[in-house]
Structure 1
Amino acid sequence: MAGGAALLLLLLLLLPLAAAEPPFAEDDGGSEAAEEPRGGRPLPGLNALESMELEFGVCTVTCGIGIREVLLTNGCPGSETKCIVGVEECHGPVDCGLGRPISENSASVVMTCIYIPPENRFKYVWKILTPNQPAHILPNDSAVMEVRRDTHPITYQCETQGNDSVIASVKYTVNATTELQTNQSKRIDTGQSRKKRADAILVFCLVTGIIFTVGVIFAIIFIILHWAIFKTVLGSKNGQDGEEEKLTNKSSQGSM
C-alpha cells in the first residue's frame, strides 16, 4: 500500500514536466545568425532578414592608414536611400614622403608617426637614414618622438607596422641650428626683397598716375584759357573749307 502511494506521488510530479514546452530545435546557423558584411565584422542594428547592399565612402587619407564610412543602400529607415552603418579602416600607399613636425623650435623638434586611434594597436619603428649606409634603428617605440638639433642635418623615418607588415611610413628632415638660422635669414631676406620690389612697383604706378592726371588738368586749363583763339581758328578753317567748296562748285559748273 505504501509502495502504491509512492508510485502515485511520483507520477504526479512527472506530469508537469511532460506538459512543458518541447526542447528547442537545433540551430542550423541560418537566419537567426547575424549577417556579416565584407571584412568579416558584423554591423550592429541591421535586420538580418534583409539583403544587405553596402557601399564604401572615400578614405580619409591618400597614404598610410585612415578610415572610411560603410553605407547601407537598401533597408534604411524612413525615406533615406543611404545610411551610415559603421566605419572601417582603409589603406593607401605606404610611403607618405616628407612630413611636417607637430612642433619645433631652435633647439628641438617633435615628430609623430602615422596612425589612427587607438594608438597602442600599432607598432612603431624609428630609424635614422644615412645615404649609402644601412638605417640605424632607434630604441624609441612610441608614436611621438622629440629630438634635439645636431650640428648637421639628420633624416628620421617612422614606420607604422600592423600584422607584421608596414602600413605607413613618413620621413622628417631635422636641420641643424646653424642651417635653421640660415634658412630663416634667407626667408627674411626673400620677404624683404619681395616687399621692396612691390613697393617700387607701387611707387612707379603712383608717380605715373600723378603725372598723367596733372597733364590732363593742364591741357583742360589751357583749352579753357585759349578757347576764343581755338574758336576763331576753327571758324576760319571752316570758312576756308566753305570757300574752297564754292570755288570747286563754280569751276565744275563752268566746265559743264
Structure 2
Amino acid sequence: MSPGGTGCFSGLLLTVGWLLLAGLRSSGGTNVTAIQDSGLAHEGEGDGEGDGESDEEAENDISNRTVVKEVEFGMCTVTCGIGMREVILTNGCPGGESKCIVRVEECHGPVDCGWGKPISESLESVRLACIHVSPVNRFKYMWKLLRPDQQAIVLANDSAILEVRREVRPLAFECDTLDSNELVATIKFTVYTISELQVRRSRSQPDTDAVLVFVLTIGVVVCVFVIFVLIFIIVNWAAVKAFWGARASTTEIHSELSSVRYKDSTSLDQTPTEIPVNDEEDALSEWNE
C-alpha cells in the first residue's frame, strides 16, 4: 500500500473514532438528563401529593370550623340576686354525646330579694347575711338601718355578715350587694324584740306538740296504775293466793259436775236393745223362784 493510501485510511479511522466518541458522550448526557428529569418528576409528584394532603387538612379544618355548636342554658340556682347556671352544649359534643356541660357561669335574677331570714339568732342577738357568691371579697356591701318615713342610715359595717343585738323595739335592716359599683342584689331583714320573738315561736309551734303531750300523759298514768297494782298484789299475796285457790277449786267442781251430768245423760240415752240379754234371763228366773 502506498504512503498516501495509508494516511487516508488512518484519517478515516480517526474520523470514525471521533464520531463514535461523540455519540457515546451524547448518549451518556441524554441518560443523565433523563435520570435528573425523572428525579425532578418524582419530586414534583411528591410535591403534588404534599399539596393534596395539605388541601385535605385544610378542608377538614374548614369543616371542623363550620360545625354549628348549639348551646342552651340551665336553670339559675336562685330566683333573685346572684346565682349559678350550667352552659350545656347540644351539638358538637366529644364522643358523639347528645349533651355535655361546657362550663358553669354566673347568672342574675331580679335585684330585689324582699325580706330574708337570719342565718342564726338567739334571745340576745341576730346574725344577718347579704346576697353573695364565692369569693365573698369580690363584692362590696352596704348595710342600712331603715327608719319609717325617714332616710335610711348607712352603717359602717361593709362585710357580708352583720351581727345585731336586740333592742326594746324592732329594727329593720337592708343590705345592698354591688359588683363593680353596680347593684346586683338587695335584701331586707327584721330584728324582733325578745318578747316578739317568744310570741312568734309559740305561735309557730305545730299542733303535734299537744298530741304528743297528751299521749305522754296517758302513758305515765297507765304506768303508775300498773305499778300500784303490782304493789297491792305483793303486799296482799296471801289473800290473792287464797282467792285464786278458791276460784280454781270452784272451777274444778264445776268441771266434775259437768262431766257427771254428761255421763248420766249418755246412760239415759241408751236404747233397750243395748241391755245385755243374759241379765234379762237371770232376772226372770229369779222372779219365778
How far has the Cα of 1:181 moved from its partner?
Answer: 2.5
Picking from 160, 181, 196, the partner of 1:143 is: 160
Residues 208-248 of structure 1 show CA distances to partners (whole Å, capped at 9, x for unaligned) of xxxxxxxxxxxxxxxxxxxxxxxxxxxxxxxxxxxxxxxxx
- Structure 1: stretches of 5+ with no match in the other structure: 1-30, 32-46, 204-256
CA offsets per residue over residues 82-108 of structure 1, 9 Å max, x none?
111111111111111111111110101
The CA deviation at 1:172 is: 0.9
Say whether residues 1:175 and 2:181 are aligned partners.
Answer: no
What's 1:73 paired with?
90
Q: Secondary structure at the match of 1:78?
A: helix
Q: Choose from 198, 201, 220 the match for 1:184.
A: 201
Question: In the alignment, what sits opposite 1:212?
Answer: none
Task: Name the CA distance, whole Å, in 1 between partners of 2:148 and 2:186.
Answer: 18
C-alpha distance 84-167 of structure 1, shift in aligned 2 (>3 A): same
- Matched with 1:108 is 125
- What's the TM-score once normalised by structure 1's chain length? 0.54
CA gap of 1:65–1:187, structure 2 versus 1, over 3 A, is: closer
Verify: 1:164 aligned to 2:166, yes or no.
no
CA positional deviation for 1:180: 1.7
Instruction: Please state if 1:152 is matched with 2:169.
Output: yes
- The DSSP-based 3-state class of the residue aligned with 1:169 is strand
Tell me the CA shift for residue 75 of structure 1: 1.4
Aligned residue identity for 1:195: A
Query: Per-residue deviation at 1:199?
Result: 6.3
**Number of residue pairs the alignment of both structures matches:** 154
Structure 1 SS opposite 2:98: coil
Normalized per residue, the structure richer in helix is: 2
Offset of residue 185 of structure 1 = 4.0
SS of the residue corresponding to residue 198 of structure 2 reads helix
Seen in structure 2, the aligned counterparts of structure 1 residues 48 and 140 have a Cα distance that, compared at 3 Å, is farther
Alignment counterpart, residue 79 of structure 2, candidates 62, 77, 87: 62
For 2:118 and 2:187, the matched residues in 1 are separated by 11
Identity of aligned residues (%): 52
In 2: Cα distance, 1:71 partner to 1:186 partner: 46
Map of 2:140 onto structure 1: 123
Change (3 A) 1:159 1:49: same
CA distance, structure 2, for counterparts of residue 185 and residue 73 of structure 1 = 52
Matches within 5 A, 1:86-105: 86-105=103-122
Between the aligned partners of 1:99 and 1:132, the Cα distance in structure 2 is 22
Q: Distance in 1 between matches of 2:123 and 2:133?
A: 29
SS state at 2:95 partner:
coil
TM, length-normalised to structure 2: 0.48
The 5-angstrom pairing of residues 204-243 of structure 1 reads none
More contact order relative to length (CA 8 Å, sep ≥ 6)? 1
Distance of aligned partners of 1:199 and 1:181 in 2 relative to their CA distance in 1, 3 Å threshold: closer
Looking at CA atoms only, which structure, 1 or 2, has the larger radius of gyration?
2
Deviation at 1:132, TM superposition (A): 0.6
Structure 1 residue 179: deviation in Å?
A: 1.8
Structure 2: segments with no counterpart, 5+ residues: 1-57, 59-63, 219-289
Once residues 110 and 186 of structure 1 are traced to their aligned partners in structure 2, the CA distance between those partners, rounded to angstroms, is 22
> Which amino acid is 2:164 matched to?
V
Q: CA–CA distance in 1 between the matches of 2:124 and 2:103?
A: 44
Instruction: Give the distance between the partners of 2:166 and 2:73, measured in 1 at CA.
Output: 44
Instruction: Report the residue type matching 2:199 in the other structure.
Output: T
CA-atom RMSD, angstroms?
2.7
